[in-house]
């Protein structure tokens, strides 16, 4: 079997003395692993960096096999990411998030959002894209929040908070007596409006709460160590 595709390189680990196993998020194919013979050579060092966009050719005798990759560099994004600590940390966090996805399960929306975030030069824009990515990640994993209407009144207007238990939105008036128990809903997550600096912190608290509730804690895995430091830097 063989197929070709374009994707985002999200990880590389050593295999034997000269080879590596590369992990690529491929459009239409999802998170895919493949062996690259000679991948530890200096010739491929610049290509096999997380954050780069690559053209891959995957080949295996059977579909369920690991398979081998032939790779060609399309966008050497990693060189720019290394020059910015914040963008480098963001790349690491995005790659950690993408590894939560089932192997070979297409998630092209998340791939597009990750690439868009990595290409943002502005720290503010990067923070906005990361928050939106985490919200979309919850949705793609089957734990999407219901932010379309108020859980109490059914109205679609003036949604300001989210229930930490149900993940449903609550409008301003019914939320008032319970603000200390609810999570703030930043408007840029549900509408095409600018995000104020304070909104970013609320957005990461919101997504972080539900990632803990539905993903990290049930799977008994630690949250990405870089996330807290990155959120603080992005503020």
Task: Quick: pLDDT tens for 132-145.
Answer: 999 999 999 999 99
Q: Tell me the mean pLDDT in the region 201-209.
A: 97
Q: Tell me the mean pLDDT in the region 70-78.
A: 95
8 Å CB contact between 1 and 59: yes
Choose between 232 and 141: higher pLDDT.
141
C-alpha–C-alpha distance, residues 78 and 68, integer Å: 23
Angle between helices 123-140 and 226-234 (to 10 degrees): 140
In this prediction, residue 22 has a pLDDT band, given cuts at 50, 70 and 90, of very high
SS3 172: helix
In this prediction, residue 46 has a pLDDT band, given cuts at 50, 70 and 90, of very high
C-alpha–C-alpha distance, residues 113 and 133, integer Å: 6
State yes or no: pLDDT of 43 exceeds 90: yes
pLDDT for position 64: 80
Strand order through the sheet with 159-162: 169-171, 159-162, 183-184
**Domains, the chain:** 2-78 (2.40.50.140), 84-147+185-234 (no CATH)
In this prediction, residue 42 has a pLDDT band, given cuts at 50, 70 and 90, of very high
pLDDT for position 232: 86
Chain-centroid distance of CA 131 in Å reads 9
pLDDT for position 115: 97
pLDDT for position 233: 85
């Amino acid at each position: 079997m063989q197929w070709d595709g374009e994707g985002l390189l999200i990880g590389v680990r050593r295999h034997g003395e000269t080879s590596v196993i590369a992990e690529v998020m491929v459009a239409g194919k999802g998170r895919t692993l493949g062996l690259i013979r000679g991948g530890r050579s200096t010739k491929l060092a610049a290509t096999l960096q997380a954050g780069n966009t690559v053209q891959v050719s995957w080949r295996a005798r059977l579909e369920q096999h690991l398979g081998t990759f032939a790779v060609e560099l399309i966008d050497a994004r990693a060189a720019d990411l290394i020059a910015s600590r914040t963008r480098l940390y963001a790349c690491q966090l995005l790659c950690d998030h993408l590894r939560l996805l089932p192997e070979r399960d297409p998630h092209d929306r998340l791939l597009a959002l990750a690439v868009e975030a990595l290409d943002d030069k502005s720290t503010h824009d990067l923070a906005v894209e990361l928050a939106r990515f985490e919200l979309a990640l919850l949705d793609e994993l089957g734990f999407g929040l219901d932010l379309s209407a108020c859980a109490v009144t059914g109205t679609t207007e003036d949604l300001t908070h989210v229930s930490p238990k149900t993940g449903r939105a609550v409008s301003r008036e019914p939320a008032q007596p319970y603000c200390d128990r609810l999570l703030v809903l930043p408007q840029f997550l549900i509408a095409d409006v600018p995000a104020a600096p304070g909104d970013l912190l609320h957005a990461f608290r919101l997504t972080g709460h539900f990632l803990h509730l539905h993903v990290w804690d049930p799977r008994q895995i630690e949250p990405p160590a870089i996330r807290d430091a990155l959120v603080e830097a992005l503020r």
